[in-house]
């Protein structure tokens, strides 16, 4: 099976702070599946490193107050394109992220508080029927 995966979970230094969240358990999936890395924020044209961003309703706002919604939307569309190109029906996405979080994301205040919600990419994937997992629950369903 082809699985689209947040690139940071595969060890790519693409997070806002320039590091990654490499997950060895996810990497082990390579033994039986093809993992397709995507970083929607980079695909949307944002630099690494970059200021942290959080969703505020339908907008995505960087910590300095700049509206970065278009970059997040562009990146989500590119990630969806890659997912469809490789016929991925499942995604493992970084939890809590304004791009990839699914079910719970940061609340937009940059205080570490979390609220129910979805990142821009997760929301788009869900609308297109891609099953979304994260680094905590992927073992249950793959």
For residues 26 and 37, what is the distance between their CA atoms, to the nearest angstrom?
Answer: 12
Mean pLDDT, the chain, rounded, equals 97
pTM summary value: 0.97
CA distance 137 to 5: 13
- Domain boundaries along the sequence of the chain: 2-141
Query: Do 131 and 90 meet the contact criterion of CB atoms below 8 Å apart?
Result: yes
Express each pLDDT in 40-97 by its tens digit: 999 999 999 999 999 999 999 999 999 999 999 999 999 999 999 999 999 999 999 9
Q: Which residue has the tokens 């706002």?
A: 61
């Amino acid at each position: 099976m082809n699985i689209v995966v947040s690139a940071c979970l595969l060890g790519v230094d693409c997070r806002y702070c320039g590091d990654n969240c490499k997950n060895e358990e996810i990497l082990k999936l390579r033994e039986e599946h093809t993992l397709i890395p995507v970083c929607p924020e980079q695909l949307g044209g944002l630099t690494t490193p970059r200021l942290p961003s959080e969703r505020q309703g339908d907008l995505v706002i960087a910590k300095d107050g700049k509206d970065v919604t278009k970059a997040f939307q562009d990146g989500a569309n590119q990630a969806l394109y890659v997912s469809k190109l490789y016929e991925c029906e499942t995604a493992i996405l970084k939890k809590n992220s304004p791009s990839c979080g699914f079910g719970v994301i940061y609340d937009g205040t940059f205080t570490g508080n979390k609220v129910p919600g979805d990142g821009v990419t997760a929301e788009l994937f869900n609308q297109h029927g891609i099953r979304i997992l994260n680094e905590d629950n992927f073992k249950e369903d793959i």
